[in-house]
Amino acid sequence: MYQFPSFYELGSTCSDSYNNFLHGIINSSSNEMFNNVESSSVSPRSMAEAKAIAANKSHSEAERRRRKRINGHLATLRTLLPNTIKTDKASLLAEAVRRVRELKKTTSELGATTMSEEDEDDDDNDDDRTTLMKKFMFPSESDELNISYCNSSTDSEGTLIVKASICCEDRPEIMMELRRALSTVQGKVVRAEMSTVGGRIKCVLWLQMLENGCKEGILVQLRRALKVVMDKANFGPQNMSQDLLGNKRPRLLGDQ
């Protein structure tokens, strides 16, 4: 026959289920309370402080990038401006402003001279154009290297002032190459002028050379060093097509 469970057995089973139910409610309530306490531990003040720290860090990073950019521009000015004795920011900016004003004045004179020469004949215009190119620092179409003395005798320190003019294809590294070439002959730049038009560059340098014997030997060494810089532009990858079609031959001018 089928036996029914006793009241004691039914009571124990119900009590176990009830106890499990109570334990589940207590555990879920404790977890919710813990989560609420944990979320309430981050106060609005802490959130504001965290945002302020992040904003300060972002501002510091932007300021660092700005200073790096300014220092890069100042370094470029130091390499472009000739004979910069003072290298601080104020002196560099003053020298740059002076040089820009000088170039603007030269450009105005060039425009006035060009307008006054428009009514002349073609032959006269060609001669005037050549004269203007030499006077106003326009690079010519052919490669040129001209070296001459500026003073006929040495000074008390035994130095010579030599004027060197080079005209060739422009390229980004030409200034560094000129600096290395002048360092090989121990030439100190006391004045420099430069112009670039249509991928051509012309540099006129006034150099202080230390006389170590023969003056002609100084010019030969300087011409050889600058000729390497001028010829290097003709053998670059950008000029290979011109070499195949026949590039203009460089013209070397002697002493004047």
pLDDT tens sequence across 50-60: 888 888 888 88
Pairing status of strand 251-253 against strand 144-149: parallel
pLDDT band at 239 (very low <50, low <70, confident <90, very high): very low
Confidence of residue 102 (pLDDT cuts 50, 70, 90): confident
Q: Taking a C-beta distance cutoff of 8 angstroms, is the pair 222, 162 a contact? A: yes
* pLDDT in the model for residue 8: 46
Could you tell me which residue, 153 or 1, shows the higher pLDDT?
A: 153
Of 110 and 243, which is predicted with more confidence? 110
What pLDDT does residue 242 have?
45
Mean pLDDT over all residues of the chain?
71
At residue 183, the pLDDT reads 87
Long-range pairs, 188-196, Cβ under 8 A, ≥24: 189/82, 189/83, 190/83, 190/161, 191/82, 191/83, 192/82, 192/83, 193/137, 194/137, 195/137, 195/138, 195/139, 196/139, 196/170
User: Quick one: pLDDT at residue 55?
Assistant: 83
Q: What is the token pair recorded at 81?
A: 């401006």
In terms of pLDDT, which residue wins out, 8 or 216?
216
Q: Indicate the pTM of the whole model.
A: 0.43
pLDDT value at 244 more than 50: no
Q: CA 136 → CA 24, 114, 142, 190, 212, distances in Å? A: 95, 11, 17, 19, 34
Is a pLDDT exceeding 80 seen at residue 32?
A: no
What ranges do the domains of the chain cover?
7-36, 45-80, 82-136, 140-253
Least confident stretch, 64-78, 143-157, 182-196, 215-229: 143-157
Mention every residue, 6+ apart, whose C-beta is less than 8 A from residue 106.
Answer: 136, 137
Residue type, 11: G
Residue type, 149: Y
Instruction: State residue 101's pLDDT score.
Output: 86
Q: Is the pLDDT assigned to residue 245 strictly greater than 50?
A: no
Between 238 and 146, residue with greater pLDDT: 146
CA-to-CA distance for 99 and 96, rounded, in angstroms? 5
Half-sphere exposure of 126 (CA within 13 A, CB side): 2
CB 161 within 8 A of CB 207: yes
Domain 140-253 has CATH 3.90.10.10: no
